[in-house]
Chain A
């Protein structure tokens, strides 16, 4: 294989990994705190929509005021919007499942359903179009050497792994987060505010999933496309399980998913192996892990259970 194809393959794998890694690290915070967050899928969509629309709307107005304005900062504002909206949707999930102790799966499913319908409504209002937002001119820049350039969010996602490791395993905050996910009653008895910790966990997961969405819409593309998450939120959850709720494990799992997707991309052109088989291998591995054939994945003990004081 010549070097250009190999470099492309590596770049492709890293780009495929990025949204999964961001969302899975988000899911790690939520699940470590004891709240299942299958709403990652929907939050990715909301984040992507928020980033694309905020940049597009600001761009149009600013360019109308001054056609030569330097708007290089705009996509970064879009990222902030995506994080805020992602965090907000996470907060909704938190309120329903922590404060009102509703079933976490149902609350998250509702958010996922909302993420199919609501963007269409918003897009129709803004652009008379149900599937795509208007393309933006100012997307996130690409960083790197010529021939191998990646979105800043790719670097951010990978740098986040040691940060998450440190926060979750080496700080009092992380200790409390894990405690409320393992044994909320015990955590409560030593004076940890279980609900507050869980709110933090779910909101952080929303922020990170929102950034994953922004990567898809304004990092990798120049517009929002309906349902563009394409199941990445669910794959991130699978990676979270495969990675045993540990940041380094999650990194390995998402890299595996990304690498297989990139390999499938390249194989698709040849007649060696059907790409769908290659792409499904990580899922088969996930099932094997879940079934206990390869190591054991032990979820936080109190995950999915509302805390009743």
Chain B
């Protein structure tokens, strides 16, 4: 009996005190493997722990919640002695602000959210989505062969207007005569999960002349991507742009050849958050024309990665943090899928624009700061 007790005591001791750090992640609705926001956060979180695990003993905790159980997950992990809890999603901000006061020894990092007068153990990370959107907008304005481009937002909230406005400014900078058509899927959270409606919006935008459509709509964005991949082309280009030359020489998929006759031009989407370029590859052939023009990258993984490292190095600071272009918190995707579409000269232009935004020569309006 004594032996057993001793063993139990030893085990309890080892469980409580063996690790150097306990790191938690409290997922937003949508879950760990949502293919974008949560998964990106988890990737950065996991990468940091993997890298540090040689030198430190880190116990990772995770909780997959819904809006009504966020607080429960946060409390549970804080009670288990978490040194850091990463919680993606603006809807977790309220819960974090309340619970951070109860657990002063636990550091909290929220992505996308905001709370008034944060304590030293809560950090709210924002992303300069307007800057990233400006870049992809500039690309869309440079490339559009109709002079009309589209924007499909998810839920009609200020955060998404931030994407919208940055994108519009970028388009206008490249092409003052261009038109941007903006639509929002809805005003309730179901707007993030309604690809059918998003697809109708994209269809209507194309009917009004849009040839490049930027989707910032969560899972609804699948509807925009599907519309572009399914429709593939349109008639009636009115401008000659760098895209006219590059898309002309690129070989087309079999489906494209069957569907699109002479004089038609390809349609493109612009992805969001993670790199969605590969989804424009309709025939699994890198050499044929890709329908993903680019993606606006939001580096949630960088935020999570930095948070873990900061806590381990004792450099964690509460408050607000904005990851902008300068910090590589946002950007645009350029990979093997879309490189053939975008000529070197345009890439150079985009690099110059990026420099100007960083230096402040170009001021992109932040809708949420208005």
How close is B328's CB to chain A, nearest CB, in angstroms? 27
Instruction: Determine the chain B residues whose CB is within 8 A of the CB of A231 once the complex forms.
Output: 190
Is A109 an interface residue, CB under 8 A from the partner? Answer: no
B residues in contact with A16, CB < 8 Å: 196-197, 200
For window 108-150 of B, CB contacts with A under 8 Å fall at none
A57 within 8 A of B: no
Does A54 sit at the interface, judged by CB under 8 A? no
Known: A130-B33, A131-B34, A228-B195. A266 touches B204 (CB 8 A): yes
A19 to B184, CA, bound (A): 21
Question: Which segment, of B48-56, B218-226, B237-245, B357-365, faces chain A?
Answer: B218-226
Known: A15-B196, A132-B35. 18 other contacts (CB 8 A): A11-B203, A12-B203, A130-B30, A130-B33, A131-B31, A131-B33, A131-B193, A132-B222, A221-B195, A221-B196, A222-B226, A225-B222, A226-B30, A227-B190, A228-B219, A262-B200, A265-B183, A275-B184
Q: How far is the CA of A123 from the CA of B294 in the complex (A)?
A: 28
Q: Which of A131, A221, A227, A228 is within 8 Å of B35, CB to CB?
A: A131
* Chain B window 203-232, contacts with chain A (Cβ cutoff 8 Å), 1 for yes, 0 for no: 111111000000000011011001000100
Q: Is the beta-carbon distance between A221 and B223 smaller than 8 angstroms?
A: yes
Q: Mark B166-205, 1 if CB is under 8 A from A, else 0.
A: 0000000000000001111011001101111101110111
Tell me if B32 is interfacial: C-beta within 8 Å of chain A.
Answer: yes
Q: What's the least CB distance linking B255 to chain A, in Å?
A: 10
C-alpha spacing A7/B182, complex, angstroms = 20
Residues of chain B at interface, number, CB under 8 A = 35
A221-B195, A226-B193 as given contacts; A129 in contact with B200, CB under 8 Å: no
Given contacts A268-B182, A268-B184, A269-B208, are A228 and B203 in contact (CB under 8 A)?
no
Q: Which of A7, A130, A221, A275 contacts B222 (CB 8 A)?
A: A221
Among A15, A124, A228, point to the contact of B194 (Cβ < 8 A).
Answer: A228
Chain A residues near B30 (CB, 8 Å)?
130-131, 226
Query: Nearest Cβ in chain A — how far from B67, in angstroms?
Result: 12
Q: Mark interface residues in A228-258 (1 if CB within 8 Å of B CB, else 0).
A: 1011000000000000000000000000000
**A269 adjacent to B200 (CB under 8 Å):** no
Question: Within the complex, what minimum Cβ distance (angstroms) separates B240 from chain A?
Answer: 22
Q: Which residue of B lies closest to A266 (CB)?
A: B204
Cα(A4)–Cα(B32), bound, Å: 42
Q: Does A193 lie at the interface of the complex (its beta carbon under 8 Å from any beta carbon of B)? A: no
CA distance A120 to B184 in the complex (A): 26
- Chain B residues with CB under 8 A of A216: 196
The answer to whether B222 touches A230, judged by C-beta atoms less than 8 angstroms apart, is no
Note all chain B residues with C-beta closer than 8 A to A128: 33
Is A171 part of the contact surface with B, judged by Cβ < 8 Å?
A: no
Across the interface, which residues of A come within 8 angstroms of B222, CB to CB? 132, 221, 223, 225
In angstroms, Cα B219 to Cα A7, docked, is 27
Contact A265 B200 (CB under 8 A): yes
User: Would you call B223 and A269 a contact (CB within 8 A)?
Assistant: no
Given contacts A131-B34, A230-B196, A269-B182, contact A8 B204 (CB under 8 A): yes
- Bound Cα distance A216, B183 (Å): 20
The yes or no answer to A190 lying at the interface (CB within 8 A) is no
- A175-227 contacts to B, CB under 8 A, are 216, 220-223, 225-227
Measured between beta carbons, the chain B residues less than 8 angstroms from A15 are 196, 200
Chain B residues whose C-beta falls within 8 Å of the C-beta of A11 in the assembled complex: 203
- Sample of 6 A–B contacts (CB below 8 Å): A12-B204, A128-B33, A131-B31, A132-B222, A231-B190, A265-B197
Cβ-defined partner of A120 (8 Å) among B31, B183, B195, B226: B31
| Nearest 7 interchain pairs by C-beta | A130-B31, A8-B207, A230-B194, A268-B183, A269-B181, A227-B193, A129-B33
A5 near B: Cβ within 8 Å?
Answer: yes
Distance in Å from the Cβ of A8 to the closest Cβ of chain B?
4
Tell me, rounded to whole Å, the shortest Cβ–Cβ distance linking A18 to chain B: 10
Given known pairs A228-B196, A230-B197, A268-B182, the reply for A132 and B204 (CB within 8 Å) is: no
Tell whether A220 pairs with B196 under 8 Å between CB atoms, given A124-B33, A128-B33, A268-B184. Answer: yes
CA distance A164 to B253 in the complex (A): 43
> Which of A130, A132, A266 lies in contact with B32, CB distance below 8 A?
A130
Residues of A within 8 A of B220 (CB): 225
When distances are taken between beta carbons in the complex, the residues of chain B under 8 Å from A269 are 181-183, 204-205, 208
| Nearest Cβ on chain A to B202's Cβ, whole angstroms | 10
Shortest distance between the CB of A51 and any CB in chain B (Å): 14
Hey, which chain A residues are within 8 Å of B226, CB to CB?
221-222
Considering residues A12, A132, A225, which has the most beta carbons from chain B within 10 angstroms of its beta carbon? Answer: A225
Q: Which of A5, A130, A223, A230 contacts B34 (CB 8 A)?
A: A130
Closest Cβ neighbor of A12 among chain B residues: B200
Assess whether A58 is interfacial by the CB under 8 Å rule: no
Cα distance A19–B194 when bound, in Å?
A: 13
The reply to whether the CB of A167 lies closer than 8 angstroms to some CB of chain B is no
In residues 55-90 of chain B, which contact A (Cβ within 8 Å)? none
- Known A-B contacts A130-B32, A222-B226, A225-B219; A230 and B203 likewise in contact (beta carbons under 8 Å): no
Shortest distance between the CB of A275 and any CB in chain B (Å)? 8
Q: How far is the CB of B245 from chain A (nearest CB, A)?
A: 27
Bound-complex Cα distance A159 to B289 (A):
40
Question: For residue B194, which residues in chain A have a CB less than 8 angstroms away from its CB?
Answer: 228, 230
Q: How far is the CB of B133 from chain A (nearest CB, A)?
A: 18
Beta-carbon nearest neighbor of B151 in chain A: A269
Question: Is the CB of A9 closer than 8 A to any CB of chain B?
Answer: yes
Question: In this complex, what residue of B is CB-closest to A268?
Answer: B183
In the complex the two chains form, what is the Cα distance from A4 to B205 in whole Å? 11
Residue of A nearest to B190 (CB): A230
Select the residue from B30, B186, B200 with max chain A CB neighbours within 10 A. Answer: B200
Which parts of A28-74 form the interface with B (CB within 8 Å)?
A: none
Q: Report the separation of the CA atoms of residues A11 and B230 in the bound assembly, to the nearest whole angstrom.
A: 16
Q: CB-CB < 8 A to A226: which residues of B?
A: 30, 193, 219
